[in-house]
Amino acid sequence: MAVRQEHGSGFTDRGDRTEVERWDTLPLVQALRARRSRRFGLGMRMDGPLSFESQHGPVPLTEEEQAILAFAASGITGYALNDLTLGPGRGGSMMSGLVGRTVASADAVQSVVLLVTDDTGTWLLRRPQDLAAGDLADVIELSGRGDVVGMYRLLRVRLSDRRARIPQEPPRSVSLNRWSLNAPGSTYFLPLRDVGYLMINGLLEVLNEDTRAFLVDDRAMYRPAGLARFSRRRGGHLEDNLRFGRAMPIEAAERVVSELVTVELGMMLQNLGLACEAVGVGGFPNFAMVDAEWLEALGFSTMSMPVSRFLRVPFPVRAALRFKRQDVVIRYPIGLEVDGETILRSYAPPYFPSMRAAVEAVVDRKFGPQGIYRGRAAQSAWREPASISENIAGISDPAIEATVAFCEYVFERYGRFPAYLSPFSTLVGFQAGHIDPEFYDRHYRPEVLTNAHRRHFGSVLHRPRPDVALD
């Protein structure tokens, strides 16, 4: 039995320690303590006060190394628990997935999709909702067996046979990263935020009889955003009285969605950093603002509109922009098709005939005949899915109709949905690669590298070098 003596906020140890008490030896804690951004890799050259030129050629990550990092970022781990009160009015059925990944996701929507690119190509990794039921079962089985390469191969969809180069010039990047981005031998992980489904799913909750939120248009004198007939003063269920704190502008509602998805993206980056430490490779997150043209090159579909409409500026400003020939056209991504199959789609026309159809698709994914709380409940981790499913209430008609009214208002007024957010976007990516310890030994104290880094470097030196040039 361990005896602990308290000293302030810490402990000293006497005798044997339990697993938890040996916290500083846990692999996770060791990775947390060692986590750093390490940028200088094999084949690189740096100028300036830390000038150094690697004496080794670039070496790509192996498929297994890539698979481990990809699994850390977005791997499918098995069945989610959904251990919530699922009774009427309790909000549990707001959840939209019964399969978990390595990172948490608002409403279990799995909003962030991961792109992977290296010298040999570019791929998208499918999420649980992007898989047919049979493929999803196969991935979960592979996950249970620890077959990380098998999962990686099954989830990948090839978009290109070449590297999708991250923009290096400001403002799409920042100057401090120009020297190292797109380095030969490196692998780049780019998470894309997909906000459409989460936005509608959240609206179905906040516009129901329990939350009773009321949304107004902050770019139209704060008038009701298509919800006037649902207000309490007109006999509806939404609370439009400002004294009760349930009124919210469109911008604020979309900001909530944006931040929730960004948290998921941030967890992907953190997991990538920890996985790099565990494997013994280098990596660093960095600003990466790819645009519609960049995504178009990978097969994404886009829509366009003048910036004056995109920003919904007042008429005098719009007229001035047109007079100065500065009312430029903005393109934004709305979906991705590969070999005739739709892989990603925004929840708005043209992928749906109307916003009503988009809302109904969200409801159907949860409560349709093959929804996760109906026909697909059998694929959950519940022991008695049928009895649980029959006691989960669906979404009320007033909540659905209010959500449809709001979504139709936004699309008709702004020509897109959501109003402020692009359906698909990203601002941060992660580059990983083999570090060159000789650079760090030359310029840094020895403790900045771990034994894992040095052991890994020894193994890398014996690998064949690809014929790639440093640019």
Which ranges of 342-384 would DSSP assign to H, the alpha helix? 355-367
Write out pLDDT tens, residues 54-91: 999 999 999 999 999 999 999 999 999 989 888 887 88
The confidence score (pLDDT) of residue 467 equals: 52
Write out pLDDT tens, residues 234-243: 999 999 998 8
- Percent of the chain at pLDDT > 90 equals 80
User: Is the pLDDT confidence value at 165 over 60?
Assistant: yes
The confidence score (pLDDT) of residue 11 equals: 39
**Ordered DSSP codes for 175-229:** GGGTTTTT-TT-EEEEEEEE-HHHHHHHHHHHTSTTT--EEEETTTTTEESS-GG
The mean pLDDT value for 267-278 works out to: 97
Write out pLDDT tens, residues 393-449: 899 999 999 999 999 999 999 999 999 999 999 999 999 999 999 999 999 999 999
- Percent of the chain at pLDDT > 70 equals 94
User: Is the pLDDT confidence value at 20 over 70?
Assistant: no
Q: Predicted confidence band at 92 (pLDDT cuts at 50, 70, 90)?
A: confident
The confidence score (pLDDT) of residue 212 equals: 96
The confidence score (pLDDT) of residue 307 equals: 87
Write out pLDDT tens, residues 211-240: 999 999 999 999 999 999 999 999 999 999
The confidence score (pLDDT) of residue 93 equals: 86
**Could you identify the residue written with the tokens 């941060």?**
428
Residue in 460, 469, 471, 470 with CA at minimum distance from that of residue 59: 460
The confidence score (pLDDT) of residue 465 equals: 59
Q: Are strands 112-118 and 187-194 parallel, antiparallel or unpaired?
A: antiparallel
Structure tokens at 300: 């994404």
Q: Predicted confidence band at 16 (pLDDT cuts at 50, 70, 90)?
A: low
Q: Where are the domains of the chain?
A: 1-34, 60-433
What residues pair up with 300 in beta bridges, in sequence order? 336
pTM value is 0.92
The confidence score (pLDDT) of residue 10 equals: 43
Q: Predicted confidence band at 18 (pLDDT cuts at 50, 70, 90)?
A: low
User: Is the pLDDT confidence value at 470 over 60?
Assistant: no
